[in-house]
Amino acid sequence: MKHAIYPGSFDPMTLGHLDVIERAAQMFDTLTVSVLNNMAKSPLFSVEERVKILEEATSHLQNVKIDSFSGLLIDYCAEKDVHIVIRGLRAITDFEYELQIAQTNRKLSKGSVDTIFLTTSLEYAYLSSSSVKEIASFHGDISQCVPEFLVDRIHEKFA
Ligand code: ADP
């Protein structure tokens, strides 16, 4: 059984995240998408809300599970007995940051956790959770950035 974890903030999830989830779900028997409970950030959506949103967005994918975690990713991987982490790469700017995290995780886990990168589909290369929040804060059109059901929920946060 090949099982991978796709961790992230997903605040909010975007069509770019969904693209990575759909593609990774075809490569593994099970994919756990896990929301990082990061105390340092003040989020738009609570962890519980983000979990529900991801569940709704991935309800068509039978082998995708949604979860949340706090603390070190390698400890969470050990707890779940998972050895593969999925991350998305949009541009060279993501690379340096992601490379450092991937190497740290490999070292800290004594080689037991490896990271696989999926390059973004070109139509979503520009998309980030922060740009979605910025556009929404000015009541702009985010319908091409997030799943349809999520558009009004994001706008409500800025009402
Ligand atoms: P984090 O705050 O942990 O970076 P994010 O929710 O911003 O979490 O992103 C989670 C993962 O999804 C990261 O690997 C990020 O590079 C990737 N990602 C974000 N936006 C996109 C996108 N538009 N296309 C592909 N991957 C993306």
Q: Can you give the residue ranges of every domain in the chain?
A: 3-125
| Assigned fold of 3-125 | Rossmann fold (3.40.50)
What are the angstrom distances between the C-alpha of 130 and each of 1, 37, 66, 77, 154? 35, 17, 22, 27, 12
**Cα distance between residue 8 and residue 68, in whole Å:** 9
- Known catalytic membership, residue 157: no
Q: Can you give the pTM of this predicted structure?
A: 0.94
Return the pLDDT at 91: 84
Neighbours of 89 (CB within 10 A): 16
- Establish whether residue 20 lines the binding site of ligand 1, counting it when its CB lies within 6 angstroms of any ligand atom: yes
pLDDT at 114 over 90: yes
Q: How close is the Cα of 150 to the center of ligand 1, in Å? A: 17
Over residues 18-65, the pLDDT tens digits come to 999 999 999 999 999 999 998 777 899 999 999 999 999 999 999 999
